[in-house]
Chains A and B, each alone.
Chain A
């Protein structure tokens, strides 16, 4: 008896030891791999700094984005240059407004459009793609045919048509971008769903009578998250590019609001008068943020894609 008790104690100890070893989840592995990727880490830091700039910048700004500096107005190219003395760290724009504050404002709006647009795409695209892929057959082919048809329409033109007809506002921009951005997502998610639904755990769920809706919610979508996360980070710069394109044409964000595209457009229009800073500051933030998003997306893909392991 005593010996047996001893053995039980030992087994108990061993069991508790095993439990102390931490499990390594897919996400934990991915995090380790992601932080080994230098470009991705640098990008993450850069993006964090840009965000910090857009939130903390107003504290340092001496001028608001609406104030007009009458002392430089009329001779922007010689007086409105970037300087610390006047408080215009990035110079002023053509109307004598402080470019530092304008860039902060534009950064906020551009990032917001990018993230909200990507979010809409993620939600709509994931649900649509998962449904089509899970049910398959006729439902799938009809749903995907619709995506094919919508995809072959040159969406930028339809988007501009929408903006013209329903008024040029940020809300309309969101709706318009959201309407077209989910198509790619739906395709990718559907492809992934097709392979997930053949897995044993889905079969098991079907045999014990779990409803379709619950299977999609509990089994399909959680397993899609890796692909979705990668693609979502690549969607954000895509959305920012779309918004900037439209704002560059003067059809997107309207004054007094602004965005990177609108600022680049202004700077590009006035640079021949020698006010180069009006182009370069917004362009700098645009370029580094987009770079960061692309590298983070690449890093996430390398971290989450089991194929390259």
Chain B
């Protein structure tokens, strides 16, 4: 087990470094510098600005400074657009918001997805089953950017129950719609996965044995069938996490919640290189760490994985 964890960590660290290096090289291969604008600045001014941001040094020194800054001080450098703010400020302001509705979405997607899948599998071919299959099929074509306007249309414009945007420190009525919009399609995927996996498990020999022994049905499901059922679901958690973090960009845009997605899109529209780079790297690190955790949990549950690799 410890070998397995060490092996995984030895993949994760170079991945993060590669991500940083790729984004850094990309940023520096951009045509024109970050301060090239339609109205060219006087040469001396441009020189001074470049010196201030350290852009006059050779690229490898810049890269070294950038990487060591991130690793030792968790410092993503200054924003190239907002002179009085660093990328860290933007992240510190936006991240708690994203974390709040993001984690709620994740919990809700997993909990309701698994429950729905299990219920559908137990009552196979009942109307509950058809309902859940229908839901998970239709939710495939309802990604967050489709759900968000539909929700606003129904709950804000027609019913007038919920505010159509804003955050206000995360009051419940501002969190509901972002969470639903973000979690629906993943909830559906998890339900689908759980259902098919549960059906397969219920047909296997050890469940038949358990039934033959006369163990009550709920006990078979919870203490025998659930654990193997969840294996494919756990391996889906990594992609789901990535998808939700990506979706948060749309949520921030559409509901004006002010999470890091908002700063990312604004950075992208204003060509604020250091901000988009900083956020990309932060999210990359989060994703890689999360995948590492998922792998470890997976190996902990399924011994086959940790001995095979």
Q: Is A174 an interface residue (CB 8 A)?
A: no
Q: Which residues of A contact B258 (CB under 8 A)?
A: none
- Is residue A139 within 8 Å, beta carbon to beta carbon, of the partner chain? no
A249-278 interface with B by 8 A CB criterion: 249-251, 261, 264-265, 267-268, 271-272, 276
Determine how close the nearest CB of chain B comes to the CB of A94; give it in whole angstroms: 15
Contact with A along B130-174 (1 / 0, CB 8 A): 000000010011110110110011001100000010000000000
Q: Report yes or no: B284 in contact with A271, Cβ–Cβ below 8 A.
A: no
Cα distance A2–B15 in the bound complex, in angstroms: 82
Evaluate contact between A145 and B148: CB separation under 8 angstroms.
Answer: no
Q: Residue A149 at the B interface, CB < 8 A? A: yes
Contacts of B153 in A (CB 8 A): 271, 276, 279
Q: Among B15, B26, B279, which residue has its beta carbon within 8 angstroms of that of A149?
A: B15
Binds A, one of B91-99, B115-123, B245-253: B245-253
B22, B141, B149: the one contacting A294 at CB < 8 Å is: B141
Q: Are B280 and A157 in contact (CB under 8 A)?
A: yes
B276 touches A264 (CB 8 A): no
Min CB distance, B67 to chain A, in Å? 16
Number of A positions contacting B (CB below 8 A): 39
A161/B23 in contact, CB under 8 A: yes
CB contact between B249 and one of A162, A163, A237, A249 (< 8 Å): that residue: A249
Question: Do B26 and A265 have beta carbons less than 8 Å apart?
Answer: no
Expressed in whole angstroms, the minimum distance between the Cβ of A159 and any Cβ of chain B is: 10
Check: A158 CB closer than 8 A to any chain B CB. yes
Chain A nearest CB, measured from B200 CB (Å): 12
B164 CB contacts on chain A under 8 angstroms: 272
Structural contact, B280 and A152, CB atoms closer than 8 A = no
A249 with B140, Cβ < 8 A, contacts A152-B288, A161-B23, A161-B277 known: no
Tell whether, in the assembled complex, residue A271 and residue B157 are in contact, meaning their CB atoms are under 8 Å apart.
Answer: yes
Instruction: Evaluate whether A245 and B143 lie within 8 angstroms (CB atoms) in the complex, with A152-B288, A153-B284 already known.
Output: yes
How distant is the Cα of A163 from the Cα of B254 in the complex, in angstroms?
21
B30 within 8 A of A: yes
Question: Is B287 within 8 A of A165, CB to CB?
Answer: no
Interface centre among A145, A163, A268, A287 (most CB of B within 10 A): A268
Given the known A-B contacts A162-B26, A164-B268, are A145 and B279 also in contact in the complex, defined by CB atoms under 8 Å? no
B-binding residues in A (CB < 8 A): 145, 148-149, 152-154, 156-158, 160-166, 237, 241, 244-245, 248-251, 261, 264-265, 267-268, 271-272, 276, 279, 283, 286-287, 290-291, 294
Q: What are 27 A-to-B residue pairs whose CB atoms are below 8 Å?
A: A152-B12, A152-B238, A153-B287, A158-B22, A158-B23, A160-B264, A160-B276, A161-B23, A161-B26, A161-B27, A164-B273, A165-B29, A166-B30, A241-B143, A245-B145, A248-B145, A248-B253, A249-B249, A249-B265, A249-B268, A251-B265, A271-B152, A271-B153, A271-B157, A272-B164, A283-B146, A287-B142
| Residues of B bordering A, CB below 8 Å | 11-12, 14-15, 18-19, 22-23, 26-27, 29-31, 137, 140-143, 145-146, 148-149, 152-153, 156-157, 164, 238, 242, 245-246, 249-250, 253-254, 264-265, 268-269, 271, 273, 276-277, 279-280, 283-284, 287-288, 291
